[in-house]
Protein backbone atom coordinates (compact mmCIF):
# COMPACT_ATOMS: atom_id res chain seq x y z
CA UNK A 1 0.00 0.00 0.00
CA UNK A 2 1.03 3.61 -0.49
CA UNK A 3 3.90 4.71 1.84
CA UNK A 4 1.95 7.61 3.41
CA UNK A 5 0.36 8.22 6.77
CA UNK A 6 0.92 6.55 10.15
CA UNK A 7 2.12 2.99 10.55
CA UNK A 8 0.83 0.33 12.91
CA UNK A 9 2.29 -2.92 14.27
CA UNK A 10 2.57 -5.60 11.61
CA UNK A 11 0.75 -8.41 13.46
CA UNK A 12 -2.02 -9.77 11.19
CA UNK A 13 -4.62 -8.62 10.50
CA UNK A 14 -3.10 -5.20 9.83
CA UNK A 15 -5.05 -2.36 11.43
CA UNK A 16 -4.20 1.04 9.94
CA UNK A 17 -5.71 4.47 10.59
CA UNK A 18 -5.71 7.23 7.99
CA UNK A 19 -4.10 10.61 8.65
CA UNK A 20 -5.82 13.99 8.25
CA UNK A 21 -5.51 13.71 4.45
CA UNK A 22 -6.98 10.22 4.31
CA UNK A 23 -3.63 8.55 3.61
CA UNK A 24 -2.46 5.26 5.08
CA UNK A 25 0.36 2.72 4.93
CA UNK A 26 0.53 -0.98 5.83
CA UNK A 27 3.92 -2.73 5.87
CA UNK A 28 5.18 -6.31 5.70
CA UNK A 29 2.21 -7.67 3.79
CA UNK A 30 2.32 -11.16 2.34
CA UNK A 31 2.69 -11.22 -1.43
CA UNK A 32 -0.31 -11.99 -3.60
CA UNK A 33 -3.90 -10.78 -3.52
CA UNK A 34 -4.66 -8.91 -0.31
CA UNK A 35 -8.14 -7.95 0.92
CA UNK A 36 -8.53 -4.36 2.06
CA UNK A 37 -11.54 -3.40 4.19
CA UNK A 38 -12.35 0.17 5.21
CA UNK A 39 -14.69 1.54 7.87
CA UNK A 40 -15.34 5.23 8.59
CA UNK A 41 -18.10 6.78 10.67
CA UNK A 42 -20.97 7.98 8.51
CA UNK A 43 -19.79 6.13 5.39
CA UNK A 44 -20.71 2.75 3.90
CA UNK A 45 -18.11 0.00 4.50
CA UNK A 46 -15.89 -0.77 1.51
CA UNK A 47 -13.92 -3.87 0.51
CA UNK A 48 -11.42 -4.19 -2.34
CA UNK A 49 -8.48 -6.33 -3.41
CA UNK A 50 -4.92 -5.23 -4.16
CA UNK A 51 -2.08 -7.24 -5.72
CA UNK A 52 1.12 -7.11 -3.67
CA UNK A 53 4.37 -8.18 -5.37
CA UNK A 54 7.38 -9.34 -3.32
CA UNK A 55 9.68 -6.45 -2.39
CA UNK A 56 7.48 -3.79 -4.00
CA UNK A 57 4.91 -1.18 -3.02
CA UNK A 58 1.36 -1.06 -4.25
CA UNK A 59 -0.88 2.00 -4.26
CA UNK A 60 -4.64 2.19 -4.31
CA UNK A 61 -7.31 4.88 -3.90
CA UNK A 62 -10.46 3.99 -2.00
CA UNK A 63 -13.52 6.17 -2.54
CA UNK A 64 -16.13 5.91 0.22
CA UNK A 65 -19.82 6.73 -0.22
CA UNK A 66 -22.17 8.11 2.39
CA UNK A 67 -24.61 5.26 2.01
CA UNK A 68 -28.17 5.15 3.30
CA UNK A 69 -29.64 5.65 6.77
CA UNK A 70 -31.99 3.23 8.51
CA UNK A 71 -34.04 4.50 11.44
CA UNK A 72 -36.87 3.15 13.55
CA UNK A 73 -38.08 2.08 16.97
CA UNK A 74 -37.67 -1.35 18.54
CA UNK A 75 -40.49 -2.72 20.66
CA UNK A 76 -41.30 -6.02 22.30
CA UNK A 77 -44.58 -7.75 21.70
CA UNK A 78 -46.90 -6.29 24.40
CA UNK A 79 -43.84 -4.92 26.26
CA UNK A 80 -43.30 -1.44 24.88
CA UNK A 81 -39.96 0.14 23.83
CA UNK A 82 -36.97 -2.21 23.86
CA UNK A 83 -34.03 -0.31 25.27
CA UNK A 84 -30.51 -1.62 24.63
CA UNK A 85 -31.43 -3.75 21.60
CA UNK A 86 -28.56 -4.28 19.21
CA UNK A 87 -29.45 -3.53 15.61
CA UNK A 88 -26.95 -4.94 13.11
CA UNK A 89 -26.19 -5.42 9.45
CA UNK A 90 -23.53 -8.04 8.79
CA UNK A 91 -21.81 -10.19 11.40
CA UNK A 92 -21.75 -8.55 14.83
CA UNK A 93 -18.23 -9.91 15.43
CA UNK A 94 -16.74 -8.45 12.22
CA UNK A 95 -15.26 -4.98 11.79
CA UNK A 96 -17.35 -4.20 8.71
CA UNK A 97 -20.65 -4.77 10.51
CA UNK A 98 -22.81 -1.71 11.12
CA UNK A 99 -24.19 -1.88 14.64
CA UNK A 100 -25.91 0.34 17.18
CA UNK A 101 -27.87 -0.07 20.41
CA UNK A 102 -31.36 1.34 20.72
CA UNK A 103 -31.91 4.28 23.09
CA UNK A 104 -34.22 4.26 26.16
CA UNK A 105 -37.26 5.01 23.99
CA UNK A 106 -36.33 2.11 21.65
CA UNK A 107 -35.25 4.37 18.79
CA UNK A 108 -32.13 3.75 16.73
CA UNK A 109 -30.37 5.14 13.68
CA UNK A 110 -28.02 3.08 11.54
CA UNK A 111 -25.92 5.14 9.11
CA UNK A 112 -23.79 4.09 6.17
CA UNK A 113 -25.79 1.20 4.71
CA UNK A 114 -24.25 0.14 1.37
CA UNK A 115 -26.46 0.00 -1.72
CA UNK A 116 -27.95 -3.37 -2.65
CA UNK A 117 -29.78 -6.03 -0.67
CA UNK A 118 -29.09 -5.72 3.04
CA UNK A 119 -30.15 -7.96 5.93
CA UNK A 120 -30.80 -6.21 9.24
CA UNK A 121 -31.49 -7.95 12.53
CA UNK A 122 -32.41 -6.78 16.00
CA UNK A 123 -31.84 -8.78 19.18
CA UNK A 124 -32.18 -8.31 22.92
CA UNK A 125 -31.68 -11.14 25.40
CA UNK A 126 -34.92 -12.15 27.05
CA UNK A 127 -37.04 -10.23 24.53
CA UNK A 128 -36.37 -12.14 21.31
CA UNK A 129 -35.28 -11.24 17.80
CA UNK A 130 -36.48 -9.83 14.49
CA UNK A 131 -34.94 -9.48 11.05
CA UNK A 132 -35.73 -8.07 7.63
CA UNK A 133 -34.20 -7.72 4.16
CA UNK A 134 -34.10 -4.32 2.50
CA UNK A 135 -33.17 -3.12 -0.96
CA UNK A 136 -31.03 -0.04 -0.35
CA UNK A 137 -30.30 2.84 -2.70
CA UNK A 138 -27.43 5.20 -2.05
CA UNK A 139 -28.05 8.11 0.35
CA UNK A 140 -31.72 7.46 1.11
CA UNK A 141 -33.47 7.17 4.47
CA UNK A 142 -35.34 3.96 5.25
CA UNK A 143 -37.48 2.95 8.22
CA UNK A 144 -37.85 -0.38 10.00
CA UNK A 145 -39.69 -0.81 13.30
CA UNK A 146 -38.80 -4.31 14.53
CA UNK A 147 -41.01 -6.11 17.02
CA UNK A 148 -39.04 -8.59 19.11
CA UNK A 149 -40.61 -11.96 19.85
CA UNK A 150 -39.69 -15.47 20.95
CA UNK A 151 -43.07 -17.21 21.18
CA UNK A 152 -43.97 -17.75 17.52
CA UNK A 153 -44.44 -21.12 15.80
CA UNK A 154 -43.51 -22.78 12.52
CA UNK A 155 -46.01 -25.46 11.55
CA UNK A 156 -45.32 -27.88 8.71
CA UNK A 157 -45.99 -31.29 7.29
CA UNK A 158 -43.66 -33.56 5.29
CA UNK A 159 -45.34 -35.64 2.56
CA UNK A 160 -44.23 -37.93 -0.24
CA UNK A 161 -44.99 -37.47 -3.93
CA UNK A 162 -48.52 -38.82 -3.50
CA UNK A 163 -49.28 -36.52 -0.56
CA UNK A 164 -49.00 -39.18 2.15
CA UNK A 165 -47.43 -37.97 5.39
CA UNK A 166 -43.87 -39.11 6.14
CA UNK A 167 -43.29 -39.95 9.79
CA UNK A 168 -40.13 -40.24 11.92
CA UNK A 169 -38.06 -37.97 9.67
CA UNK A 170 -35.75 -35.54 11.47
CA UNK A 171 -36.31 -31.80 11.09
CA UNK A 172 -33.27 -29.65 11.91
CA UNK A 173 -34.01 -25.95 12.33
CA UNK A 174 -31.23 -23.38 11.98
CA UNK A 175 -31.58 -19.71 12.77
CA UNK A 176 -29.97 -17.50 10.12
CA UNK A 177 -28.75 -14.10 11.24
CA UNK A 178 -26.05 -11.89 9.82
CA UNK A 179 -23.65 -12.01 6.91
CA UNK A 180 -22.70 -15.40 5.54
CA UNK A 181 -25.83 -17.09 6.92
CA UNK A 182 -24.41 -17.24 10.41
CA UNK A 183 -25.98 -20.31 12.00
CA UNK A 184 -26.62 -19.36 15.59
CA UNK A 185 -28.84 -22.17 16.77
CA UNK A 186 -29.86 -25.65 15.80
CA UNK A 187 -32.90 -27.50 17.08
CA UNK A 188 -34.14 -30.95 16.17
CA UNK A 189 -37.69 -32.22 15.91
CA UNK A 190 -39.30 -35.30 14.34
CA UNK A 191 -42.25 -35.58 12.02
CA UNK A 192 -45.21 -37.17 13.77
CA UNK A 193 -48.63 -38.40 12.74
CA UNK A 194 -49.33 -37.55 9.12
CA UNK A 195 -45.82 -36.09 8.76
CA UNK A 196 -46.64 -33.01 10.86
CA UNK A 197 -44.07 -31.08 12.87
CA UNK A 198 -44.09 -27.99 15.09
CA UNK A 199 -41.25 -25.60 15.88
CA UNK A 200 -42.12 -23.60 18.99
CA UNK A 201 -40.32 -20.63 20.54
CA UNK A 202 -39.48 -19.04 17.20
CA UNK A 203 -38.80 -15.37 16.46
CA UNK A 204 -39.68 -13.24 13.44
CA UNK A 205 -36.45 -14.15 11.63
CA UNK A 206 -35.50 -16.39 8.72
CA UNK A 207 -34.84 -20.06 9.42
CA UNK A 208 -33.36 -22.89 7.40
CA UNK A 209 -35.13 -26.25 7.65
CA UNK A 210 -33.30 -29.46 6.80
CA UNK A 211 -35.27 -32.71 6.52
CA UNK A 212 -33.42 -35.99 7.14
CA UNK A 213 -34.41 -39.59 6.68
CA UNK A 214 -33.93 -41.71 9.82
CA UNK A 215 -30.18 -42.32 10.36
CA UNK A 216 -29.24 -40.40 7.17
CA UNK A 217 -26.12 -38.22 7.18
CA UNK A 218 -27.31 -35.76 4.53
CA UNK A 219 -30.65 -33.96 4.22
CA UNK A 220 -33.14 -35.00 1.57
CA UNK A 221 -34.78 -31.56 1.53
CA UNK A 222 -33.58 -28.07 2.40
CA UNK A 223 -35.90 -25.08 2.79
CA UNK A 224 -34.43 -21.57 2.96
CA UNK A 225 -35.92 -18.38 4.38
CA UNK A 226 -38.70 -20.05 6.38
CA UNK A 227 -40.48 -17.65 8.74
CA UNK A 228 -43.22 -18.19 11.32
CA UNK A 229 -46.62 -17.70 9.70
CA UNK A 230 -50.24 -18.66 10.34
CA UNK A 231 -51.18 -22.06 9.03
CA UNK A 232 -49.23 -25.13 7.98
CA UNK A 233 -46.91 -25.41 4.99
CA UNK A 234 -46.09 -28.57 3.05
CA UNK A 235 -42.64 -30.05 2.49
CA UNK A 236 -42.84 -32.44 -0.45
CA UNK A 237 -40.12 -35.10 -0.44
CA UNK A 238 -39.20 -36.45 -3.88
CA UNK A 239 -38.20 -40.12 -3.76
CA UNK A 240 -35.25 -39.32 -6.03
CA UNK A 241 -33.83 -37.13 -3.26
CA UNK A 242 -33.60 -40.01 -0.76
CA UNK A 243 -30.36 -41.73 0.18
CA UNK A 244 -29.77 -44.79 -1.98
CA UNK A 245 -26.29 -44.52 -3.53
CA UNK A 246 -22.89 -45.80 -2.38
CA UNK A 247 -19.19 -45.07 -2.86
CA UNK A 248 -16.88 -48.06 -3.24
CA UNK A 249 -13.11 -48.32 -3.29
CA UNK A 250 -9.92 -49.69 -1.81
CA UNK A 251 -7.09 -47.93 0.06
CA UNK A 252 -3.48 -48.95 -0.69
CA UNK A 253 -0.15 -47.81 0.69
CA UNK A 254 2.69 -46.72 -1.66
CA UNK A 255 3.88 -50.35 -1.96
CA UNK A 256 0.47 -51.60 -3.02
CA UNK A 257 -0.39 -53.20 0.32
CA UNK A 258 -3.98 -52.82 1.51
CA UNK A 259 -4.55 -50.35 4.35
CA UNK A 260 -7.12 -51.28 6.99
CA UNK A 261 -8.76 -48.86 9.41
CA UNK A 262 -8.72 -45.86 7.06
CA UNK A 263 -11.51 -43.29 6.95
CA UNK A 264 -13.28 -41.66 4.05
CA UNK A 265 -14.40 -38.12 4.81
CA UNK A 266 -17.31 -37.18 2.61
CA UNK A 267 -18.38 -33.51 2.62
CA UNK A 268 -21.57 -32.46 0.91
CA UNK A 269 -23.01 -29.07 0.06
CA UNK A 270 -24.71 -28.58 3.42
CA UNK A 271 -22.83 -30.53 6.08
CA UNK A 272 -19.60 -32.46 6.42
CA UNK A 273 -19.94 -36.20 6.96
CA UNK A 274 -17.20 -38.52 8.21
CA UNK A 275 -17.53 -42.29 8.02
CA UNK A 276 -15.24 -45.19 8.93
CA UNK A 277 -14.93 -46.73 5.49
CA UNK A 278 -13.36 -50.07 6.47
CA UNK A 279 -15.78 -52.65 7.77
CA UNK A 280 -14.50 -55.29 10.16
CA UNK A 281 -14.92 -58.29 7.90
CA UNK A 282 -13.04 -56.50 5.10
CA UNK A 283 -10.40 -54.82 7.22
CA UNK A 284 -7.44 -56.77 5.84
CA UNK A 285 -8.43 -55.87 2.27
CA UNK A 286 -8.69 -52.12 2.79
CA UNK A 287 -12.02 -51.98 1.00
CA UNK A 288 -14.86 -49.64 1.89
CA UNK A 289 -18.47 -48.91 1.14
CA UNK A 290 -19.76 -45.47 2.14
CA UNK A 291 -23.43 -44.62 2.15
CA UNK A 292 -26.25 -44.57 1.55
CA UNK A 293 -25.98 -41.06 0.10
CA UNK A 294 -28.51 -38.90 -1.74
CA UNK A 295 -27.67 -37.64 -5.24
CA UNK A 296 -25.29 -34.69 -5.14
CA UNK A 297 -21.70 -33.56 -5.39
CA UNK A 298 -19.27 -34.59 -2.67
CA UNK A 299 -15.73 -33.67 -1.73
CA UNK A 300 -13.75 -36.71 -0.64
CA UNK A 301 -10.66 -37.23 1.49
CA UNK A 302 -8.97 -40.38 2.82
CA UNK A 303 -7.32 -40.40 6.23
CA UNK A 304 -5.17 -43.24 7.57
CA UNK A 305 -2.94 -43.33 10.62
CA UNK A 306 0.72 -42.68 9.73
CA UNK A 307 0.00 -41.18 6.30
CA UNK A 308 -0.77 -37.68 4.99
CA UNK A 309 -4.40 -37.08 4.09
CA UNK A 310 -5.25 -37.97 0.50
CA UNK A 311 -7.42 -35.39 -1.25
CA UNK A 312 -9.55 -37.16 -3.85
CA UNK A 313 -11.43 -34.07 -4.97
CA UNK A 314 -15.11 -33.88 -5.91
CA UNK A 315 -17.23 -36.72 -7.21
CA UNK A 316 -20.74 -36.53 -8.60
CA UNK A 317 -23.40 -38.98 -7.45
CA UNK A 318 -25.97 -38.16 -10.09
CA UNK A 319 -28.35 -41.11 -10.13
CA UNK A 320 -30.68 -42.85 -7.70
CA UNK A 321 -29.30 -46.18 -6.40
CA UNK A 322 -25.97 -45.44 -8.07
CA UNK A 323 -22.75 -47.25 -7.16
CA UNK A 324 -19.67 -45.07 -7.72
CA UNK A 325 -16.45 -47.11 -7.76
CA UNK A 326 -13.50 -44.93 -6.81
CA UNK A 327 -11.07 -47.78 -7.56
CA UNK A 328 -7.69 -48.00 -5.83
CA UNK A 329 -6.73 -44.98 -3.74
CA UNK A 330 -2.96 -44.74 -3.16
CA UNK A 331 -1.56 -43.13 -0.03
CA UNK A 332 1.82 -41.38 0.12
CA UNK A 333 4.76 -41.99 2.45
CA UNK A 334 4.96 -39.35 5.19
CA UNK A 335 7.13 -36.40 4.17
CA UNK A 336 6.98 -37.14 0.45
Number of neighbours of residue 78 by Cβ within 10 angstroms: 7
Nearest Cα neighbor of 148 from 132, 160, 170, 162 is 132
Residues with Cβ within 8 Å of 255's Cβ and at least 6 positions away in sequence, in order, are none
Q: What is the pLDDT of residue 126?
A: 92
* Cα–Cα distance measured from residue 336 to residue 329, given in angstroms and rounded to the nearest whole number: 16
Q: Are 46 and 28 in contact (CB under 8 A)?
A: no
Burial of 6 (0-12, 13-18, 19+ CB in 10 A): exposed
Question: CB–CB of 195/167 below 8 Å?
Answer: yes
Nearest to 191 by CA among 152, 164, 228: 164
- Using the Cα atoms of residue 178, residue 182, residue 188 and residue 191 in order, give the sign of their dihedral: positive
Q: What is the pLDDT of residues 69-96, one digit of tens each?
A: 999 999 998 889 999 999 998 766 666 7
**How would you write the pLDDT of the chain (336 residues) with one tens digit per residue?**
333 444 333 334 677 888 888 888 888 777 788 888 887 877 888 888 888 888 788 888 888 888 899 999 999 988 899 999 999 987 666 667 889 999 999 999 999 998 898 889 999 999 999 999 999 988 899 999 999 999 999 999 999 999 999 999 999 998 876 544 445 556 889 999 999 999 999 999 999 899 999 988 888 898 988 999 999 999 999 988 898 888 899 999 999 998 888 888 888 766 555 554 444 334 457 788 888 888 888 888 898 889 999 999 888 888 788 899 999 999 998 876
Cα 38 to Cα 44: distance, rounded to the nearest angstrom:
9
Q: Half-sphere exposure (CA, 13 Å, Cβ side) for 17?
A: 5
What mean pLDDT, rounded, does the chain reach? 84
First to last CA, the chain: 38
In sequence order, the β-bridge partners of residue 123 are 86, 129
For residues 107 and 71, the answer to whether their CB atoms sit within 8 Å is yes
Sign of CA dihedral 72, 76, 80, 85: negative
Mapping DSSP to helix (H, G, I), strand (E, B) and coil, where does residue 194 land? helix
- What is the pLDDT, as a whole number, of residue 10? 37
Confidence at residue 8, expressed as pLDDT on a 0 to 100 scale: 37
Q: Give 275's strand partners.
A: 264
Q: What is the three-class DSSP state of 284? A: helix
For residue 153, the SS3 value is strand
Amino acid sequence: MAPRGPRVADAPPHLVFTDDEGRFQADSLASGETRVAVRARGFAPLEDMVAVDPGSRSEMDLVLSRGATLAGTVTGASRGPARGTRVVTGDWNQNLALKVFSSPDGSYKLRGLPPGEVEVFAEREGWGKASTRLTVKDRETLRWDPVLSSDLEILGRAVDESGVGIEEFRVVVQEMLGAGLRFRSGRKEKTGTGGSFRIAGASDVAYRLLIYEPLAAFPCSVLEEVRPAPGEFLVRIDRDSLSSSYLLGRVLDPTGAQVGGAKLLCSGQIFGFGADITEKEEKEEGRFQAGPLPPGRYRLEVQAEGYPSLEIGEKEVSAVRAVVDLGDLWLRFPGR
